[in-house]
Structure 1
Amino acid sequence: MPGTTAAVLGQQIETARYAAGLTRRQVCDASGVSISMLRKVERGERRPSDQVLETLARAVRSTPEDLLGGTRRTDSRVHRDIPALRRVIAAYDLPEDGPVRPLQQIAADVEAAVEDRVEARYARLGDRAPGLLAELFRAVDQAPDGRERASAARLLALAVRSADAVAYKYGYHDLSGRLVELMRWASKLVNDPALDAAAAYVRTEVFFAAQQLGSGLRALRAAVDQMPAPSSERLAAAAAALHMRAAVVADRMQGADDARLHLREAEALASQVRERLYDGTAVGPDSLEVHRLAVAVELGEPEDLREAVSAATRWAPPRDLPAERRSHYYIDLSRAQVQLGRPQHAAESLLVARQIAPQHVRAHEQVRAELATMVRLTRGRDTRVMALARWAKAV
């Protein structure tokens, strides 16, 4: 990838070298590159030419594409379902003729799809999503009146969101962007501010993928401003979710004050609601604790990280919290431990996350980046770290 910086490329080469169990001298002997040159490359002080990169890639048993940050796909069967998903949404407003069951029956399948998403059962979700979306597109198109159309559109918004999880987490960001816009389109047919807020929450993925965090934060704040007063539990939960998301985005922009402000707003709202799913988003006191850790990790301030790791000895996400959210907590805990220079503890946290939601952990881009860092910290000598890194296709 042309945009890969010299520092990132150097880290990739060093990670691949450790994963192959090679010293710098061995790489230099195999490639003909000098020790001083390799040292500068790995430190990010010098970017290799295309010819040197190809030679180094062969020496560390990799490819130039992988070293430049190319996506390493897992062998999940999710990938085989993506073409069918693309075909279905291509003609969302011109659906083919076909049967449409009563909405009550479709609703049960949508509920199952939402459960598959939050429990990180992506392979099953990817298999079922195309057919469910096709039927819901027909249901919206064939609705006899506005009320029936709004009911079908609500179900469609939730089903599209579930399908988006498959697209986004497995790296199909173009498809994810289309699904997000479809969710926003469907939610507008319902005229429901809480569902609009859920669509705005999911839309943040588009900004993450495009690395447009400033735009993402503005979009979230605009969604907050458009929310009515939190006069019901559902509206309070919708607003809390937006603030939790905004805190994470502000974090990634290194806006500590903004992040903490949004977290306080989320805390005030989350305290008013029961922990459960609201329009597909888990919101409540426990979800707030998960986001509190995420905020500390993104800011990366040592004192906050130490406190977050210490807090993990006193609190753990309860088992009734969705698997995706629980595993996210342990992923972020491991990231905090890596930043504190504790790769062995980080490996233990990732093993817990994998036990909770293996498909979520294996598809998570931050997990792969984190495992690459752990390989470098342990110089490829920790067998548990290496096993995790190979399982997640981080090396």
Structure 2
Amino acid sequence: MPGTTAAALGQRIETARHAAGLTRRQVHEASGVSISMLRKVEDGERWPSDAVLDALAQAVQTTPEELLAGPRRTDSRVHQAVPELQRVIAAYDLPEDGPVRSLRELAADVDQAVEDRVQSQYVRLAEQVPVLLAELFRAVDQARGAEREQVAHYLALAIRSADAVAYKYGYRDLSARLVELMRWAASIAADPALEAAAAYVRMETYFSAGQLDPGLRSLQAAVDRMPAPATEPFAAAAAALHMRAAVAAGRMGRPDEAREHLRDAEALSHQVRERLYDGTAVGPDSLEIHRLSVAVEVGEQEDLRAAVKAAGRWAPPRELPAERRSHYYIDLGRAQMMLGQPQHARESLLVARRIAPQHVREHGQVRAELATMVRLSRGKDEQLLAFARWARAV
């Protein structure tokens, strides 16, 4: 399958073997594939022929397609709701006739959509946001002047909530389309802070495509376009951009640049109260969460040890959105795995699952860490296997 490396395929085969409770000799006996060939395939040294892959897949109780494609989609109701979302946005500029409620009623529903997003209630959001978007498209089409700007602001936030569903559930093309629609709505709203929020969300597209360099440039351009942080919303918007830029720079292997963005974010974060600004949690607590994220992305042992030690003294307050708190524990688990602490990492992921199960179940990094844990445990930990199967990591 395009994009699948020999190393990735080998890891999936090894994970599936351990999940099935099989040794290499048992797989050899069931498949006829020699132990030396199996070892080379699992170690990523050889790409198996179609016949070998078919035999191995049957032996480890899966299919060649699943080994090539990686973890399967969950059976969430989100997938059933996506076609309606796609239908609604296809005609965003040619909305169907229908009623439009008052601004206050629309605002209340948008607030609920934002709340569902940050609390990781993706199923409910996916089922309800298409109807809300359809009404907001009509409202923008009908409104004029200042009222149109206000409705466009609501629309941008609702689109962002819809994008969270598309992005987290693997609909990358749909997510990219929604990001562009958010930028379109933000431009109508004529609010620099909202346009900065759209730039923050747009980075998802660059992460998905592996285009981090242009993505980082787009974040810096958004920072440069921001007015002076003389108001709390402007300071929060700039802080969010710097936090995301720090993560991107860390992932690109630019630790000095990542730390510089963190310092800029810190100076701005202390000017604002911790809360949501155009759907993004910003403030001193969110900054601490991003410190850990950057340490994980940079991957330097000293930073990782310091971050894990800091986690023993500080935890995200319960007042923070569930999605952000769960992400903290996902990153903590990643740091612990990188430090050779798989048991601690497992506990961190369990905490993340208790906080936001829908978020954790759809998280690619969670699946990767769980698959690694299954290999390390050789499939002998039934509780770990149950967790990994729940997340479709095996």
Q: Is the pair's TM-score, using the shorter chain for normalization, greater than 0.5?
A: yes
Q: Please list the CA deviations of residues 354-390 of structure 1 after superposition, one character each: whole Å capped at 9, or x if unmatched.
A: 1111101001111111111111121112222211101
What corresponds to 1:297 in structure 2? 296
Contact 1:343 1:378 in 2 (8 A): no
Q: Please list the CA deviations of residues 130-188 of structure 1 after superposition, one character each: whole Å capped at 9, or x if unmatched.
A: 00000000000011x22111111000000000010011000011110110000000000
What corresponds to 1:170 in structure 2? 169
Partners of 1:252 and 1:65 in 2: CA distance: 30
Corresponding residue SS for 2:281: strand
- The one-letter amino acid paired with 2:117 is R
Corresponding residue SS for 1:194: helix
- The one-letter amino acid paired with 2:186 is S
Contact 2:71 2:392 in 1 (8 A): no
What corresponds to 1:53 in structure 2? 53
Task: Report the alpha carbon displacement of residue 51 of structure 1 after superposing the two structures with TM.
Answer: 2.0
Partners of 1:286 and 1:201 in 2: CA distance: 18
What corresponds to 1:97 in structure 2? 97
Corresponding residue SS for 2:69: coil
Q: Please list the CA deviations of residues 14-53 of structure 1 after superposition, one character each: whole Å capped at 9, or x if unmatched.
A: 1111111000001111111111111111111111122211
Partners of 2:110 and 2:374 in 1: CA distance: 41
Correspondence 1:192-271 to 2 at 5 A: 192-271=191-270
Contact 2:20 2:60 in 1 (8 A): yes
Partners of 1:359 and 1:32 in 2: CA distance: 40
What corresponds to 1:274 in structure 2? 273
Q: Which moved more, 1:207-216 or 1:191-200?
A: 207-216
Task: Report the alpha carbon displacement of residue 344 of structure 1 after superposing the two structures with TM.
Answer: 1.3
Partners of 2:54 and 2:184 in 1: CA distance: 46
What corresponds to 1:110 in structure 2? 110
Partners of 1:167 and 1:369 in 2: CA distance: 20
Correspondence 1:1-395 to 2 at 5 A: 1-143=1-143, 145-395=144-394
Q: Please list the CA deviations of residues 98-120 of structure 1 after superposition, one character each: whole Å capped at 9, or x if unmatched.
A: 00001111000000000000000
Q: Which moved more, 1:304-313 or 1:241-250?
A: 304-313
- The one-letter amino acid paired with 2:276 is L
Partners of 2:134 and 2:250 in 1: CA distance: 38
Partners of 1:215 and 1:378 in 2: CA distance: 40
Contact 2:153 2:189 in 1 (8 A): yes
Provide TM-score, normalisation by structure 2.
Answer: 0.98
- The one-letter amino acid paired with 1:335 is R
Contact 1:110 1:155 in 2 (8 A): yes
Q: Cα–Cα, structure 1 residues 70 and 377, in superposed 2: closer, same or farther, change >3 Å?
A: closer
- The one-letter amino acid paired with 1:225 is D
**Structure 2: runs of 5 or more not aligned:** none
Partners of 2:219 and 2:162 in 1: CA distance: 22
Provide TM-score, normalisation by structure 1.
Answer: 0.98
Contact 2:12 2:70 in 1 (8 A): no
Task: Report the alpha carbon displacement of residue 8 of structure 1 after superposing the two structures with TM.
Answer: 1.0
Q: Please list the CA deviations of residues 74-105 of structure 1 after superposition, one character each: whole Å capped at 9, or x if unmatched.
A: 11111110000000000000000000001111
Partners of 2:83 and 2:71 in 1: CA distance: 18
Corresponding residue SS for 1:277: strand
- The one-letter amino acid paired with 1:107 is A
Corresponding residue SS for 1:82: helix
Partners of 2:307 and 2:317 in 1: CA distance: 17
Task: Report the alpha carbon displacement of residue 254 of structure 1 after superposing the two structures with TM.
Answer: 1.2
Q: Which moved more, 1:362-371 or 1:108-117?
A: 362-371
Contact 2:342 2:373 in 1 (8 A): yes
Contact 1:347 1:384 in 2 (8 A): no
Find runs of 4+ consecutive structure 1 residues off by over 3 angstroms: none
Q: Please list the CA deviations of residues 251-301 of structure 1 after superposition, one character each: whole Å capped at 9, or x if unmatched.
A: 111111111111111111111110000000000000001110011111111
Give the fraction of aligned pairs with identical amino acids, expressed as a percent.
75
Q: Which moved more, 1:70-79 or 1:363-372?
A: 70-79
Partners of 1:76 and 1:358 in 2: CA distance: 12
Q: Which moved more, 1:60-69 or 1:124-133?
A: 60-69
Corresponding residue SS for 1:267: helix
Partners of 2:214 and 2:55 in 1: CA distance: 40
Task: Report the alpha carbon displacement of residue 217 of structure 1 after superposing the two structures with TM.
Answer: 0.8
Partners of 2:135 and 2:33 in 1: CA distance: 59
Task: Report the alpha carbon displacement of residue 71 of structure 1 after superposing the two structures with TM.
Answer: 4.7
